[in-house]
A and B are shown apart, each in its own frame.
Chain A
Amino acid sequence: MRRSSSQNLPLVALIAGVLACPPLPITLKTIDLSPQDSPVTGGSGIAGAFGYCFSSDSPPPSSFSPGPAQAMVGFDDYFAPGAQPFPCNTVRDETFRGGIKFDLSQFDTIGSADLLFDTVNSLSRSNGETVGQNPPESFATTIGMGTQAFSSASEMPDDSELPLPAGPSFDIGVSSQVRAWLGGRSNFGFIIGGPRPTATSSSYPQDNDAQMSWYGNFRLRVLYNPAMNPRAPQ
């Protein structure tokens, strides 16, 4: 089919207009968000005595807790073998995971997002002696997306886990995670986990070791176009 020259006029005009006008400048902004609430540490694992002991010996409680604005990640084991003839092992294998959540309600779309945080303390226990490390060592190995609200009734489950670099300071690209939340996935925050999976009653470490890291200075650095995010700082 032959196209008349008059039919091409609008296209020519559009091209001419585009070439004549410089593109509108897009000014992107960066903001560092603080966590919505205090970071959360959740422990899971096993505690007590196993076998047909039903209860019995009480292992010593864990000595550790997170400091201000910190999350605590790692494991803390206690194991005392039972005596014959009916051995009843006393066990405490706690696995701690950290949860951090940011309020993203001011954004509709983002350019990019990075999660920044630091290892602020760490310790390890082996051969019955607990020592702190300087500089602190990061023992966490994964960062994932929470699948439940933080609460005492859950074990801080997550999915979409990514390997965590060695640290001790972190700058992790989390654009796809943040876009998923902005796209409608429920925002239950980030979960920092590792270095071991949670122990179960049928499979638990039989040692007295611990590897624990404390993380803090959490920030979510968001790059965004103010024109597309009217509720965000302009």
Chain B
Amino acid sequence: MCRYIRILCVPLLGMAVSAHASPAQNTPEELVGAVISAARRGDVPQFLACLTATSRASLTESFANRSALREAQQAFRRALDNQYGKGGILYFSPEEDLKSVIVRFVGAEILEKKRGPPGIVKLRVRTSVRTPDGRISQVEDTLGVQRERGAWKLRLGFAPQGQRVANYIGTLQRYTKSVQEGAYKDRMTAMIALDNALNGKGSVTR
């Protein structure tokens, strides 16, 4: 029931993240075509080969973060259940793998191409994506592409988030321990305390 729409999110469970040999993309247009072609075929190695090395690494870290966060979240819930009684059923969506996500890309059209920061070309792209309910929706995004080892590669728009995620996990573990030690009068108080900590206020109601 907890079905998140991860249209453009890419968990990488159990996936070897390596740049497989692939035909070099000589132009940004060829690169976008290769990304969509690999996505439509569900060809994960080829899809990953279209990314810069840094982007592949960030993607790997991202997936590891998701798993660690979910485990820390579930540990907090288990502590609540042990301390205050087993809670009602809460459905979580199963994690999707990369293939199930990328096959939703069904097409892309470059709307605009212009020079970006040094070495980077900015592309305005309209992408057609199949939603989980089978409809086709179109989204527009600005992509960065750059040359790497003689070929154009897709540069994902994010930086590694390791420290921030480590902070989330540390906070979850700390509040899980507090629950186990009986620091809160009830489940609600514990959840509010955690929520304030995760959202930066750090106020603890006990």
Contacts from A to B (Cβ < 8 Å): 37-58, 60-72, 82-83, 85-88, 94, 97, 99, 121, 123, 125, 128-132, 150-156, 200-202, 208, 210, 214
Contact = CB atoms under 8 A, between A and B. Distances in A.
Contacts of A128: 199-201
A55 B62 contact: yes
Interface of B: 1-12, 58-59, 62-63, 65-66, 69-70, 72-73, 76-77, 80, 84-94, 101, 116-117, 120, 122, 125, 127, 129, 131, 137, 139, 141-144, 154-159, 161, 164-165, 168, 172, 187-189, 191-192, 194-196, 198-201, 203
A71 B91 CA distance: 11
Contacts of A99: 1
Contacts of A123: 188, 191-192, 195
B91 A49 contact: no
- Which of A42, A45, A150, A208 lies at the interface centre, i.e. has the most chain B CB atoms within 10 A of its CB? A42
Contact of B88 (A46, A51, A68, A86): A68
A41 B88 contact: yes
Contacts of A48: 4, 6, 8-9
A82 B142 CA distance: 12
Contacts of A68: 84-88
B88 A40 contact: yes
B11 A55 contact: yes
A10 B45 CA distance: 90
Contact of A121 (B2, B76, B120, B188): B188
A21 to B, nearest CB: 53
> Which of A85, A128, A132, A208 neighbours the largest number of chain B CB atoms within 10 Å of its CB?
A85
A56 B4 contact: no
Nearest to B122: A85
A48 B6 CA distance: 7
A124 B106 CA distance: 39
B8 A42 contact: no
B161 A52 contact: no
Given A40-B88, A56-B62, A45 B5 contact: yes
Contacts of B65: 58
Nearest to B93: A152
Contacts of B189: 132
Nearest to B2: A43
Contacts of B157: 51-53, 56, 82, 86-88
Nearest to A200: B5
Contact of B141 (A47, A51, A153): A51
Contact of A52 (B84, B87, B93, B125): B125
19 contacts: A42-B90, A44-B1, A46-B4, A46-B5, A47-B4, A48-B6, A52-B127, A52-B142, A52-B154, A54-B8, A56-B9, A56-B161, A61-B73, A64-B195, A71-B88, A85-B117, A99-B1, A125-B195, A128-B199
